[in-house]
Amino acid sequence: MQDYHHDRARALLANATQIVTPEEVQAAVKRVAVQLNTRFNAEKSFPLVLGVMGGAVVFTGNLLPQLDFPLEFDYIHVSRYGDADRGGQIVWKVIPRQDVTGRTIVVVDDILDEGETLAHVKQRLLDMGAAEVIIAVFADKDLKRAKPIKADLIGLTLPNEFVVGFGMDVYNYWRNLPGLWSISQADLSAAEPEPEFPVPDAKKLD
């Protein structure tokens, strides 16, 4: 079992391509930190920063020590991809625990992909009475189509590929990489499996 996961994780990475270096990752985190500092040092507020677990764990851990204004931190836990490489139902594992009524909330997440997760999170916080919800993402995936939500702060823009590293996983592997890697299309579940036996011609089945 351990061997299986070890070998599978290594094989996925061996087929992957590095698209962002660790240095570029750190520069992106800094860009988001500078923008948040500029904004929150200019106003006397006390935002609640909410990391969206689990993907945001690395971005949040790198970002928080670079923020230099008073804030409160907590996390929420929402998942839409689970163990898959395609989004499905949104599952809340930890809901907001603070009273968010009237507060400015900064939601921190690793990636805005189709935008379903963060659109849902933002709406839930507004429904709970938050005054303002600011979305800060490490990465925004360029899908070349409209999304249900736009991030207010973006560290970097990624191509429309399935990416791992800096908190992002494929099948729960490789959240720990300091740079970003694009997983080979052939390794994703959308890839057509080779038929084991010749597939009968549909016309001959009537």
Known catalytic residues?
Answer: 113
List the single partner that 115 binds among ligand PRP, ligand HPA, none, CB under 5 to 8 Å by kind: ligand PRP
Site string for ligand PRP, 100-119 (x = CB under 6 A): ---------xxxxxxxxx--
In this structure, what DSSP letter does residue 173 have?
B
Answer yes or no: are the C-beta atoms of 97 and 205 closer than 8 Å: no
List the single partner that 136 binds among ligand HPA, ligand PRP, none, CB under 5 to 8 Å by kind: none
Answer yes or no: are the C-beta atoms of 44 and 69 closer than 8 Å: no
Structure tokens at 151: 């991030």
For β-strands 48-53 and 104-112, DSSP reports them as parallel
Determine which residue in the list 40, 59, 81, 174 makes contact with ligand HPA, applying CB under 6 A.
Answer: 81
Q: Which of residues 145-164 bind ligand HPA (CB under 6 A)?
A: 162-164
Is 168 a residue that touches ligand HPA (CB under 6 A)?
yes
Return the closest-CA partner of residue 166 out of 84, 75, 74, 55: 55
Question: Rounded to whole angstroms, how far apart are CA atoms 128 and 20?
Answer: 37
* Residues of the shown chain interacting with ligand PRP in the complex, contacts defined by CB under 6 A: 52, 54-55, 79-81, 87, 109-117, 169
* Residues of the shown chain interacting with ligand HPA in the complex, contacts defined by CB under 6 A: 81, 111, 113, 162-164, 168-169
